[in-house]
Amino acid sequence: MLSKDLGPEGARGVMVCGEKIFLMRAFGRVNAVQDRCLHRGVRFSARPECFAEGRITCWLHGFTYDVADGKLVDIIAAPGAGLIGKDNLKTYPVQERNGLIFVFVGDMDPPPPLDDDTPPTYLDEDMATEGIARVVNSNWRVACENGNDATHIWIHRESPLIVGGDIALPAGFFIINYEDGVEVIEDTGRKGVISPHGRESHLPCFEPKVEGTPILDIAGKYGTKRVATTVELWMPCGLRVTDFPQPGMTHFEFYTPIDETRHLYVQMLGRKVANEQEAKRFRMEVQALWEPLDLRGFNDEDIFAREHLQEFYQDDDAWLNEQLFQGDVVTLRWRTVCSRWNRGIQWRGPRRLDAHADVARLSTVSQE
Contact with a copy of itself (CB under 8 A) among 15, 121, 124, 154: 154
Give min distance, CB of 287 to a copy of itself, in A: 30
Contact with a copy of itself (CB under 8 A) among 31, 57, 195, 256: 57
Give min distance, CB of 57 to a copy of itself, in A: 7
Contact with a copy of itself (CB under 8 A) among 5, 29, 78, 158: 78
Closest to a copy of itself by CB, 81 vs 133, is 81
In the 8-state DSSP scheme, what is residue 42?
-
The span of 90-98, 117-125, 252-260, 318-326 binding a copy of itself (CB under 8 A) equals: 318-326
Question: How distant is the alpha carbon of residue 293 from its chain centre?
Answer: 21
Closest to a copy of itself by CB, 336 vs 342, is 336
Contact with a copy of itself (CB under 8 A) among 137, 188, 326, 346: 326
| C-alpha span between 206 and 212 (Å, rounded) | 14
**C-alpha pair distances (Å), 349 with each of 15, 229, 258, 260, 353:** 18, 45, 20, 19, 9
* Contact status, residue 64 vs residue 41, Cβ threshold 8 Å: no
Q: Decide: is 155 part of the binding site for a copy of itself (CB under 8 A).
A: yes
The 3-class secondary structure across 110-146, one letter per residue, is CCCCHHHHCCCCCCCCCEEEEEEEEEECCCHHHHHHH
* Collapsed DSSP state (helix, strand, coil) of residue 353: helix
Contact with a copy of itself (CB under 8 A) among 27, 187, 325, 339: 325
Contact with a copy of itself (CB under 8 A) among 7, 9, 18, 77: 77
DSSP string, 242-276: ES-SSTT-EEEEEEEEEETTEEEEEEEEEEE-SSH
Contact with a copy of itself (CB under 8 A) among 51, 115, 280, 340: 51
The span of 61-69, 262-270, 285-293, 337-345 binding a copy of itself (CB under 8 A) equals: 61-69
Radius of gyration over every alpha carbon of the chain, rounded to an integer in angstroms? 24
The set of residues, in sequence order, having a beta carbon less than 8 Å from that of 245 and lying 6+ positions away, is: 161, 165, 167, 227, 251, 269, 290, 293, 294, 298
Q: Decide: is 305 part of the binding site for a copy of itself (CB under 8 A).
A: yes
Residue 243: is the preceding peptide bond cis (ω within 30°)? yes
Q: Decide: is 42 part of the binding site for a copy of itself (CB under 8 A).
A: yes
Residue from 264, 262, 263, 243 nearest 252 by CA: 243
The HSE-up count of residue 132 (CA atoms within 13 Å, CB side) is 16
Q: Decide: is 356 part of the binding site for a copy of itself (CB under 8 A).
A: yes
Give min distance, CB of 5 to a copy of itself, in A: 23
* Contact status, residue 269 vs residue 279, Cβ threshold 8 Å: no
Give min distance, CB of 74 to a copy of itself, in A: 5
Give min distance, CB of 123 to a copy of itself, in A: 32
What binding mask, one character per residue, do residues 161-200 give for a copy of itself by CB under 8 A, x or -? ----------xxxx--xxx---------------------
**C-alpha pair distances (Å), 261 with each of 144, 264, 265, 313, 319:** 14, 11, 13, 10, 16
Q: Decide: is 341 part of the binding site for a copy of itself (CB under 8 A).
A: no
- Residue list 2-41, contact with a copy of itself (CB under 8 A): 36, 38-41
Q: Decide: is 217 part of the binding site for a copy of itself (CB under 8 A).
A: no
